[in-house]
């Protein structure tokens, strides 16, 4: 058994299909929407647990969120992660990418010096994919983003990842510790293990750390640490469409479609 230590960064997000928009204010109403672990982060968790199956060691879950996120981290524990850490403090609120990556960085530093930090490709609510490179920058570590497969060599202390891009692929090798982001849907996340589920949900401890625990500088967290502001919200303008319904046999419809398509090319 090795002393391999992998940290998986996880975000708890509202289910996109349950978000409503207030027609008057254009604000997103997250109340009432159920939450879930960001689906791409489940692929990150699976990659970490797969490496643990092969090499031993331990997997820690790390998340920055309000306290309500705690039970979701237990899902990861029930899948086989060893411990979970929730970075939770009112002062973390309003964080953009810069403040979020700083806060996660402070959590990772407090966890010691893990060999790998694995993230999902992007979050389903932000969908910008900017956390993994930002986190790597704060940690001053190399990165492999959009990895579909990852191997590690514990003796040589390297990670080798495959990225599939534009119909081709790259294989990159970086020294560990390193930050990895996992291509969404590149693996099949395992189910919760029923033998450890009861323990994960009843007895296991989720450690909560606040700003002081992290020794985070207040100018770098939450709103003060976020250069980005939302200056307005608007309804997306939609283009007026003809919305003409075509009827008839498939052949008649096809003939009419060929005609209108020809006309617009």
Partner 1 sequence: MVASRYGINEEEKAIWVFLEQTDGVLEGVSLELLSKGRQLADEVDWSLTGLLIGHQIKDLSDEAYTYGADEVWLADHPLLKLFTVDAYAHVAYQALTEAHPSVFLCGATPNGRDLAGRLAVRLRTGLNADCTDLRLDAGTGVLTSEVTGFGGGVLALLESPGHRPQISTVRPGVFPPGEADLNRVGSLIEMQVKLEEEMIQTQIIERVVGEGVDLTQAPVLLCGGRGMDGKFSILEELAELMDGEVGATRPPVDDGHIERDRQVGQTGIVCRPKVALAFGISGAFHFVVGIQDADMVVAINTDPDAPIFEYADYCVVGDAFQIVPALIKAYKAAREAAHV
Binding test (CB under 8 A) with partner 1, winner from 2, 56, 156, 171: 171
Binding test (CB under 8 A) with partner 1, winner from 36, 70, 82, 137: 137
Beta strand pairing call for 143-153 and 5-9: unpaired
Binding test (CB under 8 A) with partner 1, winner from 1, 112, 166, 203: 166
Binding test (CB under 8 A) with partner 1, winner from 54, 93, 198, 255: 255
Residue 139, phi then psi, degrees to nearest 5:
-80, -10
User: How many CA within 13 A on the CB side of residue 14?
Assistant: 11
CA pair distance 65, 261, nearest whole angstrom: 50
Closest CA to 177 of 42, 19, 5: 5
Rounded to a whole number of angstroms, the minimum distance from the CB of residue 70 to partner 1 is 24
Ranges within 178-197 binding partner 1 (CB under 8 A): 183-185
Can residue 153 be called a binding residue for partner 1 (CB under 8 A)? no
Which range, of 18-26, 49-57, 59-67, 68-76, touches partner 1 by CB under 8 A? 18-26
Contacts of 16 (CB under 8 A, 6+ apart): 124, 125
By three-state DSSP, how is residue 125 classified?
coil
Can residue 142 be called a binding residue for partner 1 (CB under 8 A)? yes
By three-state DSSP, how is residue 150 classified?
strand
Ranges within 67-126 binding partner 1 (CB under 8 A): 96-99, 101, 122, 124-126
Rounded to a whole number of angstroms, the minimum distance from the CB of residue 127 to partner 1 is 5
Any idea what DSSP says for residue 24? T
Can residue 246 be called a binding residue for partner 1 (CB under 8 A)? yes
Can residue 219 be called a binding residue for partner 1 (CB under 8 A)? yes
Q: Which is nearer to partner 1, 83 or 121 (CB)?
A: 121
Can residue 241 be called a binding residue for partner 1 (CB under 8 A)? yes
Residue 104, number of CB atoms within 10 A of its CB: 26
Q: Are 51 and 149 in contact (CB under 8 A)?
A: no
Can residue 168 be called a binding residue for partner 1 (CB under 8 A)? yes
Rounded to a whole number of angstroms, the minimum distance from the CB of residue 111 to partner 1 is 19
């Amino acid at each position: 058994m090795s002393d391999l230590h992998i940290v998986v960064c996880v975000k708890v997000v509202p289910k996109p299909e349950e978000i409503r928009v207030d027609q008057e204010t254009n604000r997103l109403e997250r109340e009432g929407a159920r939450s879930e672990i960001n689906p791409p982060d489940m692929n990150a968790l699976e990659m970490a647990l797969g490496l643990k199956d092969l090499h031993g060691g331990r997997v820690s879950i790390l998340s920055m969120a309000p306290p309500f996120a705690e039970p979701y981290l237990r899902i990861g524990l029930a899948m086989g992660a060893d411990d979970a850490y929730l970075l939770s403090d009112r002062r973390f609120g309003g964080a953009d990418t810069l403040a979020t990556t700083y806060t996660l960085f402070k959590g990772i530093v407090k966890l010691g010096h893990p060999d790998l930090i694995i993230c999902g490709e992007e979050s389903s609510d932000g969908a910008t994919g900017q956390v993994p490179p930002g986190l790597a920058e704060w940690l001053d570590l190399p990165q492999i983003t959009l990895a579909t497969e990852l191997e590690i060599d514990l003796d040589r202390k390297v990670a080798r990842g495959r990225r599939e891009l534009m119909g081709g692929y790259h294989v990159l090798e970086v020294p560990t510790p390193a930050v990895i982001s996992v291509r969404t849907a590149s693996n099949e996340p395992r189910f919760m293990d029923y033998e450890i589920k009861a323990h994960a949900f009843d007895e296991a401890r989720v450690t909560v750390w606040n700003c002081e625990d992290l020794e985070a500088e207040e100018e770098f967290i939450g709103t003060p640490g976020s250069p980005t502001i939302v200056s307005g919200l608007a309804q997306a303008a939609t283009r007026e469409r003809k919305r003409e319904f075509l009827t008839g046999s498939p052949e008649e419809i096809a003939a009419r479609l060929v005609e209108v398509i020809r006309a617009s090319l």
